[in-house]
Amino acid sequence: MENEKYSKELNVAVRVVHMACFLCEKVQKQLFSTNSDQVKSKDDDSLVTVADWSVQATICWMLTEAFGSQNISIVAEEDVQTLIKPESSALLEMVLTSVNECLAEAPRFGLQGPDKALGPSQILEAISKCNSTGGPLGRHWVLDPVDGTLGFVRGDQYAIALAMIEYGQVKIGVLGCPNYSVKDDGLNKYSQQKNLVESDDVGCVMYTSKGSGKAWMQPLILCDKRFEWPNSAKLIRVSSIDDPALATFCEPVERSNSDHSFAAGVANTVGLRKKPLRVYSMVKYAAIARGEAEIYMKFARSGYKEKIWDHAAGVLLVQEAGGVVSDAGGRSLDFSKGIYLEGVDRGIIACSGLALHEKIIGAVYDSWESSNL
């Protein structure tokens, strides 16, 4: 079976994403308890934090150790331009500390860390190594170190997203969701004040492999525990609801790259009655995969281009859990064109089943005719 072919890759990916969740939880607590300068703005006005750089460096280092520096291609969101500036020395030191503290925990996750702490040049090299542009040939790891950085800094939902693409096809998808409760109704249970370390209501990592027809959810480990996988994982499945009036609809929080008004028109046309859940990050895909929501719609504003790291892991997770994902014209998403999802027709639609998906696609065409887009 195809999924057995990638058992080593999936094993490593699940473990390194767990490590990254451990890192992010620690950085997030520091972010709320100190006034240290851990958040920066990028040229496009989006945010980047110590966690973004630290996760990218950690996962890159671990993947390189597992699969060899000569045979690995990594596509990831962050670069080192801010970190190498002289005025960013304190920021780089925080990244250095976060990475080394995380790597020191590698044996607890069943992985081998470095023999000694990494230095600044090694950290910068690891981040810079994630400079692949992907494409149709070969194998590429695709990483969004902190998807939903605004959610992260606000103490809300965010995700660590890692996928493996081979010859343009997503083969492995892993989503770490530290603030997404493993318990039912997870989107509504998290609050910034909750101390996850002292509660059994922990976050989760969801994962799957192409062709398996299965998706799994694993609880995050508490700080004093050792990682046990896959013993504590459970199968997840999309919802069986196919009545639009009963369906739960997710959409992005940010208005800058998503047209909420058009989505509202589609929702009205198809007969969705519930108020949309506005959720940061790929946790929207996770909610569909585990049956907490039935529909995710995103209609990008003119000029915005979707990036593969924002969708690859989540798309495969929904598909293997029994759902359907396409662009708004009903076509499959193409992950073979580089860092962008080229040729996306109007937007992206993810649904728990084919019946709902067909209704949404039909409503998109109906709404498009009367819109001003």
Binding site residue list for Mg(2+): 77, 144, 147, 310
Rounded distance between C-alpha atoms, residue 11 and residue 31, angstroms:
31
Active site includes 52? Answer: yes
Q: Which residues fall in the annotated binding site?
A: 77, 144, 147, 310
The residue type found at 46 is S
Count of positions (residues) in the chain: 373
Phi, psi at 302, each rounded to 5°: -55, 130
Residues 6+ apart with CB under 8 A from 186: 180, 204, 287, 290, 292
Rounded distance between C-alpha atoms, residue 21 and residue 104, angstroms:
14
Which of helix, strand or coil describes residue 350? strand
Choosing from 149, 208, 248, 269, the catalytic residue is: 149
Tokens 């039935």 sit on residue? 294
Active site includes 149? Answer: yes
3-state helix, strand, coil in the chain (%, to 5): 40, 20, 45
CA torsion angle for 145, 146, 147, 148 (degrees, to 10)?
A: -170
Pairing of strands 215-219, 234-236: antiparallel
Tokens 């989107």 sit on residue? 187
Maximum pairwise Cα distance, the chain: 63
Which residue spans within the chain are E strands per DSSP? 39-41, 47-49, 74-76, 139-147, 159-166, 169-177, 204-209, 215-219, 234-236, 249-251, 277-278, 295-298, 324-327, 348-351
Tokens describing residue 185: 């109704």
Is residue 369 exposed (0-12), middle (13-18) or buried (19+ Cβ within 10 Å)? exposed
Choosing from 49, 52, 259, 327, the catalytic residue is: 52
Catalytic (active-site) positions: 52, 149
